[in-house]
Every structure is written in C-alpha cells, then in structure tokens.
Amino acid sequence: ILLFVSVNQILLLLLVLTVCAILYNKVHQVPSALKNETVDLESPEEMEEEIPVVICAAAGRMGATIAAISSIYSNTEANVLFYIVGLKTTIPHIRKWIENSKLKEIKFKVVEFNPMVLKGKIRQDASRPELLQPLNFVRFYLPLLIQKHEKVIYLDDDIIVQGDIQELYDTKLAPGHAAAFSDDCDLPSTHEMVRSVGMQNTYMGFLDYRKQAIRDLGISPSTCSFNPGVIVANMTEWKHQRITKQLEKWMQRNVEENLYSSTLGGGVATSPMLIVFHGKYSAINPMWHIRHLGWSPDTRYSEHFLQEAKLLHWNGRYKPWDYPSVHTDLWENWFIPDPSGKFKLTRPDS
C-alpha cells in the first residue's frame, strides 16, 4: 500500500509539473505572426521616415502659412512633421487656426523664435522694413530650433506645393554640402520672367561690389545667385561647418560696413547666405522651386508650365493673399479661412 501511494504521488507530481510546463509555454510563447510583426516594426527598412518641414507663421501672413501647410499635407502620403516657428504673440493664433480646421489631423510642433538672438546683427533699413522682420532669419538658426533630425526642409510661407514633398526631401546633397538650393539661372522660362521685370539673378544684384570686403571674397559679380526660400539642409554638416556662426559674422559686418542692403535685389536675408554657401551647395530640381510669381502684378507664366511645377513661390512684393497679384487661383485652392476671422484676403471687391 505504501508503495502504491508513493507511485501515485510521483505520478501526480509529474502530472502537475507537465501542466505547469504547458501553461508556462502558453503564457510566454510569442505567436509567430506577432514575432513577424515585431520584427517589421523595429526594422529600419519598414519604418516610415519622418519628414521635418520648417515654416514660419508671421503676424499678418498666417494665411500664407496655412495655405502652404494645406498644400503639402494634401499632396503627400509621407509622414510629415511640421515645425511652425513664430513669435510669442503669434503662436496662439496659428495653433487655434490649425486645431479648428481640417488641418487638425497634421503632426506639428510650434516653436517660439526669440528675436533677441538678432540683437546687433541687423542694419535698420527703411526702404523695405518687412525684410527686417525677425522670422526672415529663422533659416539661419535651423539647428538651434530643430534638434533630432539629420535632414530638414525649410520653406518660405509664400509658397504652395503641388508635388509630393517626399521628392523634395529625397534631394541628394553632395558630401560636405550643408544645404541644397535652386539656382536663379536654372530654367529658361524663369529667365524670360527675370528679363521682363528687371530682376537680378547674379551676385551683383545682392552685394555691394564697391566695398573692399566684398571684392576680397573673389566672387565674380556675374556669378549666378540662388534663392534660399526653399532649402534642403543637412544638420550634421551645418553644425560641423558652423554655418550659423558664419552667417552671423557677415550680418555683423554688414551692420558695421553696409555690405548689402534691402535696396538691392534680395534684401538682407539672402546676401549672407550667398557669401557663406558660395560654391558649397547642392542643386534642387528646378521644378521644385518656380519663383518670382510675386515680382510683378502683370507678368504671368503660362498655365501649362505652372501645372507642371512642383512648388510655386510668390517671392516679391505682390503676394497672392493681397491685391494686386497674379495666379491667385492656384494659391486660393489651398487657403483655409481663419475661424477667428482675423485674417482676411484682400480682393478687388472686398
């Protein structure tokens, strides 16, 4: 009888251990489907890359920011993260506009720009005071505002995007280049526009070659300029080359020596970039930056050409939210009215 009891106890113990082992496996075993899913989620090849787009929201121009964001968001499936840069007084307005419109689905971060970083670096010029607004210089400080990204797109607010922003983000930057821009001599169709309204597309139009400091650069005045309203930037190279410090150096020299001014072609934000990036930048596909739509209220591109364009830029005085201006229908396609009613379009019948 004792032997029978002990055998039963052993069998019972084995049974209990077997049951425990089965339960343990069931609890801790990862199903094969979940294993595959986990690998996919963690695989760099499968992760959707985040595309950071920096754009400013300036007082009186927030409708431009909204239209630009709307056009980008509507024309891509990419994972875009908008960095919307504003001053302390403008940030609540732009945030409310986004959150109370169809743009509430976008991924965005609002970044406050402190204009004190510009103290002593801007020469006051009464001829075009709008060019001296602090947010015009946000592009100089990209690594200070955007921390975690290797590659960043910067866009002026007076643009709309008709293509997939992923294409622009995929712009190849040559080794050692901190940024890519569009040359002002890159498209025959824009040459005609430049000639017709007397615009400058060389360094002569931006820098004062009467000044020794400019002549000492050794840059031919007939060198083609570029437009920094659309930038694809490599943050690692930017920081490595101390681009921000270089730009600030030329801003301070301009305060002391008046090397360029807003009476020249591109104002005060383009000129330091032309100096610092001379011969050291990559090219953006020309169709990704069709410019000068705001230079004249009369001169127009062909409709077919504009339909082919990936990005339109109303650089110049004549903005599509004001009057007079050209090709406003293309811009208004993406404009979303201000829920607060503060921002209104200026139209002939308004």
In terms of DSSP H, where are the helices of 29-172?
A: 32-42, 62-74, 91-99, 142-145, 165-169
Cβ pair 224, 201 in contact under 8 A: yes
How many residues does the structure list for the chain?
350
Q: What is the pLDDT of residues 159-173, one digit of tens each?
A: 999 999 999 999 999
CB burial readout 309-321, b (16+ within 10 A) else e? bbbbbbbbebbbb
Domain ranges of the chain: 51-333
Reading the chain (350 residues) residue by residue, the pLDDT tens digits are 444 446 567 666 777 677 666 665 554 443 333 333 333 333 444 457 999 999 999 999 999 999 999 999 999 999 999 999 999 999 999 999 999 999 999 999 999 999 999 999 987 764 555 666 899 999 999 999 998 999 999 999 999 999 999 999 999 999 999 999 999 886 666 666 655 555 678 898 889 999 999 999 999 999 999 999 999 999 999 999 999 999 999 999 999 999 986 555 556 889 999 999 999 999 999 999 999 899 889 888 999 999 999 999 999 889 999 999 999 999 999 999 999 999 999 999 86
Give me the residue label for tokens 């760099």: 44
C-alpha Rg value of the chain to the nearest Å: 28
What pLDDT, in 10s, does the model give residues 106-153? 999 999 999 999 999 987 764 555 666 899 999 999 999 998 999 999
* DSSP-derived 3-state class of residue 26: helix
Contact between 338 and 344 under an 8 Å Cβ cutoff? The reply is yes
**What kind of fold does domain 51-333 have according to CATH?**
Spore Coat Polysaccharide Biosynthesis Protein SpsA; Chain A (3.90.550)
Sign of CA dihedral 253, 259, 261, 267: negative
String of DSSP letters for 228-275: EEEEEEEHHHHHHTTHHHHHHHHHHHHHHH----TTSTTHHHHHHHHH
> pTM of the predicted model, to two decimals?
0.84
